[in-house]
Amino acid sequence: MSTAAPDRRTRRHQETIGEILDVAVELMGTEGVAALSLSAVARRLGMQPPSLYQYFPSKMAIYDALFQRGAELFLASQREAVAAATTDDVVELHLIGTTAFARWSMQNQVYSQLLFWRTIPGFEPSPEAFAPAQEALADLRAHLQAGVGASRLHPDAASDEGLAVFTSLTSGVLSQQLANEPDASFESGRFTRLFPLVLEMFYQHYAPTRGRNAG
């Protein structure tokens, strides 16, 4: 049974929500992520501030919607990059996914600040908004488990510790890049060029022979 197409009012409502979020991202890019003003958003859209509350009851609700949108875009970019890969090598696939993460983050710095750093005092994403980010972590664990299955990684790499180490390394490199050279391209970035080395260090630390000579 086919689902009925949304009526004109519903479509217009959804379009306005998209416009509000687009304007919010634009303003956050110029004024700062934490400096978002609902009044400024309303003015840019040519509406009265109270009208904005028909779509979002608070500024935190806009942040929540943007968190979900950003997480969905980030997840899609990684999956598309991996799906388009022409290699079956788990390490190369992992580098492709990591590169897609970094490239997307540099191209979408407002979303990156919202997703990966606590730039909004008091903001916590709702479970619905956080769900795509959890999917991204599940994808990462699957990549690491594939490395274990291919005898390229020790099982510890796919543990909670391994995920924490990997995300700390990659987020740290990205933080350095955005803090020091936010306008550089991924290819020319002084820190983003280090991603292959960071991945190599991770694979060396969690080599399949890890711990065999201990004791």
21-25, 60-64, 206-210: which range is least confident on average?
206-210
Q: Which pLDDT value is given to residue 3?
A: 56
> Does residue 132 share a domain with residue 194?
yes
In a domain, 52, yes or no: yes
> Does residue 20 share a domain with residue 84?
no
Mean pLDDT, all residues of the chain: 91
The domain spanning residue 178 has which CATH number? 1.10.357.10
In a domain, 210, yes or no: no
Q: Which pLDDT value is given to residue 214?
A: 46
Into how many domains does the chain fold?
Answer: 2
Q: What gap in Å lies between CA 78 and CA 181, rounded to an integer?
A: 23
pLDDT digits (tens, 9 = 90+) for 143-198: 999 999 999 999 999 999 999 999 999 999 999 999 999 999 888 999 999 999 99
> Does residue 74 share a domain with residue 14?
no
State which of 37, 57, 77 marks the end of a domain. 57
> Does residue 100 share a domain with residue 25?
no
In a domain, 213, yes or no: no
pLDDT digits (tens, 9 = 90+) for 71-115: 999 999 999 999 999 999 999 999 999 999 999 999 999 999 999
Whether the pLDDT of residue 211 is over 90: the answer is no
Whether the pLDDT of residue 37 is over 70: the answer is yes
24 touches 36 (CB < 8 A): yes
> Does residue 122 share a domain with residue 153?
yes
Q: What gap in Å lies between CA 111 and CA 28, rounded to an integer?
A: 9
The domain spanning residue 40 has which CATH number? 1.10.10.60
Whether the pLDDT of residue 6 is over 90: the answer is no
Q: By residue range, what is the domain housing residue 51?
A: 1-57
Best CA proximity match to 189, nearest among 202, 178, 199: 178
> Does residue 160 share a domain with residue 143?
yes
Q: Which pLDDT value is given to residue 96?
A: 95
Q: Which pLDDT value is given to residue 141?
A: 96
117 touches 111 (CB < 8 A): no
DSSP 186: T
> Does residue 121 share a domain with residue 173?
yes
Q: What gap in Å lies between CA 139 and CA 75, rounded to an integer?
A: 9
